[in-house]
Copies of this chain bind each other. A is one copy, B any other.
């Protein structure tokens, strides 16, 4: 089996200033080719450490993916180390990357400085995959079998997550052409509303009866719920996909409405798909979630087709004056109440003239809670021409987590209403 090691270079990770998220994404991508990641490593911007660490990783693995150490102010160290490691006699300039550097900087209205141009210069031992999203090229170093006892390739990627992830497809393609990979067939089931332990209890019997070569992975995520992933390595596509489908048919009957999608997508994409398919529109009225729901919905390209807007009514005066919530409701029940979110949801639907709306009012914390309405309490209202419903939920997290969970649950409550009213 082809194995890989993922290394990040940069003092900023070692001093704990930033968390490495690249390695996790790269690992998932390598996994999809049946490549096993044996180690992940972070090292500093120091030439000897870079050389000795990468040599050790190459000795144990076929593929080493390096990210970071390539910013315009510090790429000398990494490039020099990679040059030494690969026995380079000098540098060469990659004309394609040079052109990209000029294009990117002029689009940003920036002067092209010498340190920018220097980014296109690479050790003469490597081949280059142009980085269309940034100034630092992707460097590919191939080592012959006699160097480490096996064929080995080192890929050097920029550290900026957006650029590193943008380069992965090209890197995977290069790996396929040089190393042995196997196909993997998988399906992802998105669930929402069950914790990992409750979900695992619910599908225990089904899981126990899965054929041995069908692997099940739980991928929990606060925002999108638990993803279930079924995979088979190798085999004939049609046969293996049909076998996975057979298992899924049983799973669907067990989980029902907890499954929101069988594509690897988010609640906001799912909501958007439902609205678009039926030509319906929506709006939001947010208090405690402070624009998070709007921000999630508009993160989806094309959302302007179905999303008209939001009133973030953080102050009560905005709830009454803009959304038209009767001030008696707030005086009598408080802003965190069924009556208030119902009036907010109806108010924003009328104000914007949309078919659907969802509203939130709650206490994200850390302050502001009371005995009857502790921190973590949220009321969620959903409204359409067919009626308005409200729900009370409670979570136990810090401010950030509470807001994320409030927003995710609001989207899910809206999704269930859409499914019930539009699909039947």
Contacts and interface: CB of A to CB of B under 8 A. Distances in A.
A31 B15 contact: yes
Nearest to A207: B73
Given A309-B314, A352-B318, A399 B40 contact: no
Given A41-B41, A322-B352, A312 B299 contact: no
A154 to B, nearest CB: 18
Contacts of A74: 218
Interface in A324-366: 351-353, 365-366
Interface string A39-63: 1111110000100010010000000
> Which of A11, A53, A398 gathers most chain B CB within 10 Å?
A11
B315 A219 contact: no
Given A162-B397, A197-B113, A397-B162, A19 B19 contact: yes
Contacts of A197: 72-73, 110, 113, 115-116
A419 interface: no
A39 B41 contact: yes
Nearest to A195: B110
Contacts of A295: 289-292, 294-295
Interface string A284-304: 101001111111011101111
A115 B395 CA distance: 21
A317 B321 contact: no
A38 B28 contact: no
Nearest to A103: B396
A24 B28 contact: no
Given A31-B16, A299-B290, A318 B313 contact: no
A394 interface: yes
Contacts of A221: 18
A239 interface: no
A363 to B, nearest CB: 11
A367 interface: yes
B351 A322 contact: yes
Contact of A291 (B218, B292, B397, B398): B292
Chain A interface secondary structure, helix, strand, loop or mixed?
A: mixed
B108 A195 contact: yes
Nearest to A166: B398
Nearest to A220: B71
Interface residues of A, number: 101
Contacts of A115: 197, 200-201
Copies in the complex: 2
Given A21-B19, A396-B104, A309 B304 contact: no
Contacts of A397: 162
A85 interface: no
B308 A317 contact: yes
A109 interface: yes
A23 B220 CA distance: 19
A304 B294 contact: no
Contact of A314 (B16, B53, B222, B298): B298
A102 to B, nearest CB: 13
A315 to B, nearest CB: 4
A394 B291 contact: no
Interface in A385-407: 394-401, 403
> Which of A222, A294, A366 gathers most chain B CB within 10 Å?
A294
Interface string A361-376: 0000111000000000
19 contacts: A14-B39, A16-B24, A17-B24, A41-B41, A73-B218, A110-B197, A113-B197, A113-B201, A290-B299, A291-B292, A291-B298, A299-B399, A299-B403, A304-B314, A308-B318, A310-B311, A310-B312, A317-B353, A318-B351
Interface of A: 11-21, 23-28, 31, 36-44, 49, 53, 56, 71-74, 104, 107-110, 113, 115-116, 162, 195-198, 200-201, 217-222, 227, 229, 284, 286, 289-295, 297-299, 301-304, 307-315, 317-318, 321-322, 351-353, 365-367, 394-401, 403
